[in-house]
Amino acid sequence: MKLTTKNRFNVAMALIAPVALIGLLAASPAIAREPFTKAELADQEKALLAVVDHGRDLWHGTLPSMQTNGLACGNCHPDAAASNPHTFPKFQANLGKVITLRDMINWCIMVPQVGKALDVNGDDMIAMEAYAFYLYRGVKIEPGLATRQTAGFDVKSGAGFPKKGSGVAYDNEKAPVLPVINK
């Protein structure tokens, strides 16, 4: 039999997979797949929100190295508006190429904020990304072009504001689903 790339892969998997699975089962009783218990899901949610919360803080200037002129991401992007994470990777006109959200975040830190770029795979960058994506949850993923997208979603809070702060900017009751209005 002549092995193409594809069936070579299949053959390899047939040999390796059962062994690997047995190894995994033996190593840990906690299997990282469904069904998760309610308590496990609550822990996951808590872990996610802690990262989002950290991202929200960074977004609003808690890490001094991200600037030398006092500016924070929140100056131009309140509620992460106009950051449009769902459109990356996209062609960024001011850079003349297709870039990722992480590239864009570091560009904003280095150029308008004259700060030190974050480690592109570090915890702080993951937190920044988590905050932006969390606020845009429910919005269609739409890698794109540099268009007139200026705002992503609506953060509802009743007649204006909740009586007390949630500590995080996501004080709406349900996921924002309003699409970009300015394409």
Chain positions contacting another protein, by CB under 8 A: 60, 69-71, 74-79, 81-82, 93-95, 107-108, 111-112, 148-157, 159-162, 164-166, 169, 171, 178, 181-182
Number of continuous H segments (helices) and E segments (strands) in the chain: 5, 2
Of 36 and 49, CB closest to another protein: 49
Q: Which is nearer to another protein, 56 or 125 (CB)?
A: 56
CB of 101 vs another protein, minimal distance in Å: 14
CB 183 within 8 A of CB 147: yes
Residues 6+ apart with CB under 8 A from 127: 51, 52, 54, 55, 58
> Which residue's CB is nearer to another protein, number 23 or number 96?
96
- Start-to-end CA span in the chain (Å): 53
Residue from 21, 17, 16 nearest 32 by CA:
21
Least distance (Å) between residue 48 CB and another protein: 20
Instruction: Name the minimum Å distance from CB 61 to another protein.
Output: 9
Of residues 65 and 166, the one with the C-beta less far from another protein:
166
Neighbours of 31 (CB within 10 A): 10
